[in-house]
Amino acid sequence: MIEFSQFTLDNGLQVIVHTDTQVNTFVLNVLYDVGSRDEHPDKTGFAHLFEHLMFGGSKHISAFDEPLQRAGGENNAFTSPDITNYYITIPAQNKETAFWLESDRMLSLSFDPKVLEVQRQVVIEEFKQRYLNQPYGDVWLKLRPLAYTQHGYRWPTIGKEIRHIENATLQDVKDFFYTYYVPSNAYLVLAGNITLEEAKRLSEKWFGPIPGGKKPVRNIPIEPKQTTARFLETSGNVPLDALYKTYPMCGKNDAAYYATDCLSDIVGRGKSSLLYQQLVQEKKYFNSIQAYVMGSIDPGLLVIDGKLNKGVSLSDGDNAIQTLLEDIMTNGIGEKEISKAKNQAESTLVFGEVEILNRAMNLAFAAVTGNPESVNQEAEKIQNITSSEVNSIAKEIFQKENCSTLWYKATNSI
C-alpha cells in the first residue's frame, strides 16, 4: 500500500505526494507524457536524444549536474516508447535544490548548439554499444517493424537508424520542447522525507510560475488487427540460433492486462515455467527460453524468445513452441499453475515497493495511465485473476495468424 495525496497547480501540473519519514532522502520524479511512439516516422530516436539534452543546461542554470552534486544529490532519466521520466534522489535537507533545478529546465532549456552536437555523438555511441556491438543486439530493430505496421511502437526508442539522430536540428529540439515539455503534459511526484505542506509550498513556488502550455493531442495511428502470420529470417555473428515470437495483446489499462501478464508468466517466466520445463529441461531443444509482456500503454506484445541448443534446427524449435501453445489452447492451464503465477506476481509487487524511488516511479506511471490509485489496486487485480480468464486469453492470443516470428541464424559457429 502506497499512501499518497494529490493536487493540481493552476498551470495544470499534477502533483502527487508520498510521505515516508522512515527514509532520510527525498525523491523528485517528473514524468513527461511523451515517448518514442509520439515521434514522426522520419525523425525517430528523438524523444531519447532530447532526454540527453535536458542535462545540457537550462534557462538560468548553466549545468544541471554540478549544483545537484554539490547538494549531495544523484539523478538519472530514461525514455521508453510511452514516456520520458526524470528523477532526483537527494538528502532531505537539500530538497529545495531539486525543485530549483527541475523547475528551471521545465521552464526552458539553454538550447546550446554545442550540447546538441556532443549529445548526438554520445547517443550514436549508445546506439552502437547497445544495439550493434552486442550479440543479438539488433533484434528489436528488426522485430518491431515486423510486429507493428502502423503504430509508433514499430521503431525502438533509440531510433530506427543512426541517420535520424544525425539529422536532428536545433529547431527540432525547440519544437519538441515547447510541444511536450509543458506543465500540462507532466506529472510531478514528491516522495520520501517531505510533508504535504512542504510539498505544496515548494511546488507552488518553483513550478507554479511556469506557463502551463497546452496538453498535446495524441494522434498515433491505431495498429490494425493482425490477420496473417508474419515471418522474417535474419542472421548475425552470434554463436547460437535464436527465435522470437510476438503476439499482439491488450494495453496496460485494459481489464485483461493482468491475466495476460499472468499467462506469460505461466508460459515462460523462470525455470518453473512451461517453456523451460518442457523445452529446456525435458526435450533439451533450447539453451534458454522465456516469455514476457512488454507492458506498454497502447496495445502491446506478448513475446517468447529462446536460444536453441546447437544441433537443433530453428524449425524444430519453432514447432516445439507451437505444439506447446496448442496444447495450452486445447487442454487449458490448471489451477495449480495459475496460483503459482499469482503468488509470484504478488511477491514481485511487494518487493518492488521496498525502494522509495520505485514507489515514486510507480505512482508517476499510474498517474500517466489515468489513475494514480491504480498502484494500490494491482494486488487485488492479481488475486482476482481466474483460470477461465487466463485460458480464454490464451485461446485468443496464441492463434497462429496472430504471430510474428523472427529467426535469427548464427552465421558462423565457434
Partner 1 sequence: MSSTILNRAIAPELQAIDRFHLPQVKTVSLLNGVHLHTLAMGQQPVVRLEWGLPAGSVAENKQGAAFFAAKMLTEGTNRYSSVEIQDYFAELGAFIEVTPGTERLLFTLYALDKHIPALVSFVHHLLSESTLPESEFEKLRRIQIQTVEVNLKKTSYIASTHFRSILFGKEHLYGRHLDVNAIQALSIDDIKEVYSTAIQNNVTDIFITGGYSEKSIESIQAFFGTTPTLPSSVRTIPSPVLTSTSLTTVPVEGSVQSSIRIGRPTFAAAHPDYFDASIYTEILGGYFGSRLMQNIREDKGYTYGIHASMVNLQHLGYFVIGTDVKRAHTAATIEEVKKEMKLLRSEPVPSDELQNVQQYLLGSFINSIQTPFAIADKFKSIYFQGLEYQHYQDFFHRIQVITSEDILKIAQTHFQEDDMTMVIAGGMEE
CB 348, min distance to partner 1, A: 8
What is the closest distance, in whole angstroms, from the C-beta atom of residue 235 to partner 1 in the complex? 13
In angstroms, give the least distance from the CB of 346 to partner 1: 6
Q: Which residues contact 38 (CB under 8 A, 6 or more apart)?
A: 47, 152, 180, 216, 218, 220
Paired strand residues for 192: 19, 26
Closest contact distance (angstroms) between CB of 411 and partner 1 is 10
- Chain center to CA of 87: 15
Binding residues among 137-196 for partner 1 as defined by CB under 8 A: none
Backbone angles phi, psi at 207, to 5 degrees: -95, -25
Specify the stretch interacting with partner 1 by CB under 8 A; choose among 21-29, 227-235, 321-329, 363-371: 21-29
Q: Which is nearer to partner 1, 265 or 298 (CB)?
A: 265
Integer Cα distance of 184 and 6 in angstroms = 15
Q: Which residue has the cell 529470417?
A: 233
| Number of H-type helices and E-type strands within the chain | 15, 11
Q: Interface residues for partner 1 in 70-99 (CB under 8 A)? A: 70-74, 89-91, 93-94, 96-97, 99
What mask, x for binding partner 1 by CB under 8 A, covers residues 322 to 361?
--------------x--xx--xxxxxx-xx-xxxx-----
Among residue numbers 24 through 43, which ones bind partner 1 (CB under 8 A)? 24-25
Nearer to partner 1, 225 or 271 (CB): 271
Q: Least separation, in Å, of the C-beta of 64 and partner 1?
A: 10
- What's the Cα-to-Cα distance from 119 to each of 49, 229, 288, rounded to whole Å? 7, 40, 36
Residue numbers 195-234 binding partner 1 by CB under 8 A = 204-206, 209
Question: Which 283-302 residues touch partner 1, going by CB under 8 A?
Answer: 284, 287-288
CA distance 246 to 267: 13
Nearest distance in Å: CB 103, partner 1: 8
CB of 319 to partner 1, least distance (A): 21
* Under 8 Å between Cβ of 52 and 119: yes
The C-alpha torsion from 37 through 43 and 48 to 52, rounded to 10°, is -160
Task: Output the smallest distance, CB 276 to partner 1, in A.
Answer: 8
Q: Count residues binding partner 1 (CB under 8 A).
A: 81
With CA atoms as reference, report the closest residue to 46 among 173, 174, 216. Answer: 173
What is the C-alpha separation between 157 and 244, in angstroms, rounded?
Answer: 19
Q: Which is nearer to partner 1, 343 or 377 (CB)?
A: 343
Cβ atoms of 82 and 35 closer than 8 Å:
yes
How far is it, in rounded angstroms, from Cα 405 to Cα 244?
6
| Cell digits of residue 13 | 501540473
Shortest spacing between CB 147 and partner 1, in angstroms? 24
For partner 1, the closer of residues 25 and 84 by Cβ is 25
**Contacting partner 1 within 119-138 (CB under 8 A):** 119-123, 125-126, 128-130, 132-135
Q: For residues 395 and 256, is the Cβ–Cβ distance under 8 A?
A: no
Distance (Å, rounded) from C-alpha 3 to C-alpha 73? 25
> C-alpha 43: how far from its chain's center?
20
Residue 304 binds partner 1, judged by CB under 8 A = no
Task: Mark out the alpha helices in 86-151 (DSSP H runs).
Answer: 95-107, 113-127, 139-147
When binding is defined by CB under 8 A, the residue of 100, 184, 198, 200 that contacts partner 1 is 100
**Geometric angle at alpha carbon 213, from 207 and 217, rounded to 5°:** 130
For residue 250, report the phi and psi dihedrals to the nearest 5 degrees. Answer: -75, 170
Residues 357-386 contacting partner 1, CB under 8 A: none
Given candidates 8, 21, 69, 235, which one binds partner 1 under the rule CB under 8 A?
69
Task: Give the residue, chosen from 67, 212, 248, 251, that forms a contact with partner 1 under the rule CB under 8 A.
Answer: 67
Compose the 254-283 pattern: x for residues touching partner 1 by CB under 8 A, - for all others.
Answer: ----------------xxx---xx--xx--
By CB under 8 A, name the one of 41, 239, 334, 370 that touches partner 1: 239
Q: Residues 6, 19, 107, 251: which binds partner 1 (CB under 8 A)? A: 107
